[in-house]
Structure 1
């Protein structure tokens, strides 16, 4: 049984009394332990799709389920609880609070979930070691580098032990060295069973995934599966597909 199921998702916005179709017809499944990258040009509907999966937006029509939970049926209060307990988020701009030190930024979702200080520390220690952030937990986000901030943000997302990790352009604000470091981290947690869904413009970032979906004009236009390909070979396929999509050559 799939972890995440989307069936005929459609999202229509109204702008100046006119309808704008952000998503026309999206159907996909994500299995437990999968690592899916979503690509497409600006305006293709990638972020809208991610927001619907994150329950930050609602589809105009269609079915979306995580396990057996119909996400369209969640009230606003239940959706907030669902996000805290089932989802982890990594954003391009980190979304850290400079008034909290790094440790308290990581603990924030657990505080909202009313976990005990003992449980929070028990969850943090192995995670901090894996992410190599133990020595910066007492510092503040404005005192550390962009790569370190993104690792703090990743720790905050992973400490809830989410069913699904959602990443929106996670390497967009990082240099190539820090981007590669974060992507290796995603590889590690995926190997440990973490399911990842990542929106990205970067073919290099997508080459770390197991599957890459290409969205164009509100539909899934093409899909690549990595299989046994090396990252280098998979990167070549992704780049070729992006070029073909731009010239509408993919059938």
Structure 2
């Protein structure tokens, strides 16, 4: 089932100014329900801009972006914040947790903003906390726990709204290798349970945990790889070779 459809998306910063920058030239792609997609590309390729537009944090200059039947380009400002809370989950590199709130209240925050009843919040958090192994952390504060634990709190905050799509921007960037692997295995489990995930990453290793890798270069979808029946090591090798070929301009190696 098609969940997200992007047609000819373009984003120009400082339009019609001397310092005009075309971050996205012509992006078209489809995301199926249950996909786990990694978006890769060199710095400045437009991958974070694409994620921010899907997140309704930025508006595209032109094109169409439809999530589960809703045209995001037509949403008014007030509706965009509500749409984000109710349909999207976010996981950031720096966690974006509030140290003045307990971990539980950080997780509850999007539900509080949507005026969900407290009894419903408690009902939702129990299975999520058990799945993520954070039950004993709920009454503590973010400054009292490790980076890996903070990221699991952030994952819980993303999941608790039952989002149609989770958007993760360099989610392993602030984690060591052990916690990175744990988080990515968690993503795989969540995805196997039906959650759709789009993840921006510069790491070929992180991307190898996904089902599909989309490479963006010069503001367009330049290349795609599918995990298919490959082992993770085989997929990692393909991703690394493609990333190197794109970086060096040796496109004969892409297939």
Matches for 1:22-33 after TM superposition, within 5 Å: 22-33=23-34
Q: Shift in Å at residue 247 of structure 1?
A: 1.1
Aligned partner of 2:175 in structure 1 is: 174
Q: Shift in Å at residue 248 of structure 1?
A: 1.1
Tell me the secondary structure at the aligned position of residue 3 of structure 1. Answer: strand
CA distance in 1, matches of 2:178, 2:19: 44
Tell me the secondary structure at the aligned position of residue 18 of structure 1. Answer: coil
Q: Shift in Å at residue 41 of structure 1?
A: 0.7
CA distance in 2, matches of 1:106, 1:67: 25
CA distance in 2, matches of 1:206, 1:186: 11
Deviates more, 1:16-25 or 1:226-235: 16-25
Answering whether residue 124 of structure 2 is matched by residue 123 of structure 1, we say: yes
CA distance in 1, matches of 2:210, 2:55: 20
CA distance in 1, matches of 2:7, 2:14: 22
Aligned partner of 1:20 in structure 2 is: 21
Runs of 5+ consecutive residues of structure 1 not aligned to the other structure? none
CA distance in 1, matches of 2:6, 2:249: 25
Aligned partner of 2:107 in structure 1 is: 106
CA distance in 1, matches of 2:238, 2:26: 25
Q: Shift in Å at residue 199 of structure 1?
A: 0.2
Deviations 1:49-97 (A, max 9, x none): 0000000001101010001110000011100000000000000000000
Answering whether residue 77 of structure 2 is matched by residue 84 of structure 1, we say: no
Matches for 1:34-49 after TM superposition, within 5 Å: 34-49=35-50
Q: Shift in Å at residue 17 of structure 1?
A: 3.2
What is the aligned residue count? Answer: 251
Deviations 1:181-227 (A, max 9, x none): 10011000100000000000011110010000001111111000110
CA distance in 1, matches of 2:18, 2:158: 38
CA distance in 2, matches of 1:199, 1:46: 7
Q: Does the 8 Å contact 1:21/1:218 carry over to 2?
A: yes
Runs of 5+ consecutive residues of structure 2 not aligned to the other structure? none
Aligned partner of 2:146 in structure 1 is: 145
Deviations 1:146-200 (A, max 9, x none): 0000000000000111000000000000000000010011000100000000000
CA distance in 2, matches of 1:87, 1:103: 19
Runs of 4+ in 1 over 3 A off after TM superposition: none
Matches for 1:1-251 after TM superposition, within 5 Å: 1-14=1-14, 17-250=18-251
CA distance in 1, matches of 2:251, 2:51: 24
Q: Does the 8 Å contact 1:222/1:250 carry over to 2?
A: no
CA distance in 1, matches of 2:90, 2:102: 19
Q: Does the 8 Å contact 1:10/1:61 carry over to 2?
A: yes
TM-score by length of 2: 0.97
CA distance in 2, matches of 1:86, 1:136: 26
